[in-house]
Amino acid sequence: MNLVDSCGWLEYFADGPNADFFSVALFKTEQLIVPTICIYEVFKKVLSERDEDAAFQAAAMMRQGQVVELDDVLAISAARISRDLKIPMADSIILATSKRYDALIWTQDEHFKGIPQANYRIKKKAK
């Protein structure tokens, strides 16, 4: 299973320098899990930078994967991860979700650098 972090979705939607890296996981929708926190983060960012139609289009593409809602067990797991690794709430929810589904996280977020469940790629500057 694969889980593309919010920054990966945004990189892909913006056709950024690492878009091809993320497209490998994004187009295997039958193996893609999408935490609701990622939908929240991507929708909010696209809404603030573009418009509501673009934000809904992004969310529709994200929904092609298996959407994973935050439940109480996942929330408790994420809280422990956040405390132990000292990472932000959204990142800990993403990591807890990846552990539940044995999924590889595709990301360019430095909080995931060195985490075994993460396929981390350094964020490239746009030309």
For 21-47, the pLDDT digits (tens) are: 999 999 999 999 999 999 999 999 999
The answer to whether residue 10 sits within a structural domain is yes
Residue 125 lies inside a defined structural domain of this protein: no
Instruction: Write the pLDDT tens digit of every residue in 62-89.
Output: 999 999 999 999 999 999 999 999 999 9
pLDDT given for residue 127 in this prediction: 67
Count how many domains the chain has: 1
Domain presence at residue 127: no
What is the distance between the alpha carbons of residues 114 and 98, in angstroms, rounded to a whole number? 15
Whether residue 126 is contained in a domain is answered as no
CATH, residue 18: 3.40.50.1010
List the domain range (segments joined by +) for residue 65: 2-120
The rounded distance, in Å, linking the Cα atoms of 25 and 124 is 18
The pLDDT of residue 34 is 98
- Contact between 19 and 124 under an 8 Å Cβ cutoff? The reply is no
Full-prediction pTM beyond 0.75?
yes
Torsion of CA 27, 37, 87, 20, to 10 degrees: 20
123 secondary structure, DSSP code: P
